Amino acid sequence: MAWVEACALDDLDVRGMKQVVMEDGKKIAVIRMDDGVFAIDDTCSHAEASLAEGDIVGDKVKCPLHGAEFEVRTGAVKSFPAVVGVQKYETKVDDDTVFVDYGE
């Protein structure tokens, strides 16, 4: 894995999300919470929907299409209709830039 620059910290409101497209086309949702920045796969495990276009409800992201919920910090699925979680990625913030641990 390698640290890949994702976005500026200022691009994210607290409790805000942003879709970031990696060099290989993979879409990742970068999420800023009160206690840090987190990253999970952006594509819902149920169908083709961008989780970054959904809502943050408590400590979960709610899919905009059918309402499945995923934990921000782990990607674990918390409600139907999705039954499989999404990948989570380690993140770090360095000099106001968000990095995601991604790739080889």
Q: Toward ligand FES, which CB reaches closer, 75 or 99?
A: 75
SS3 content of the chain, % helix, strand, coil (to 5): 5, 50, 45
100 - beta bridge partners?
4, 91
Closest CA to 41 of 16, 21, 14: 21
Q: Which of residues 23-62 bind ligand FES (CB under 6 A)?
A: 44, 46-47, 49
Query: What is the smallest separation between the CB atom of 66 and ligand FES, expressed in angstroms?
Result: 3
**Binding stretches for ligand FES (CB under 6 A):** 44, 46-47, 49, 63, 65-68, 81-82
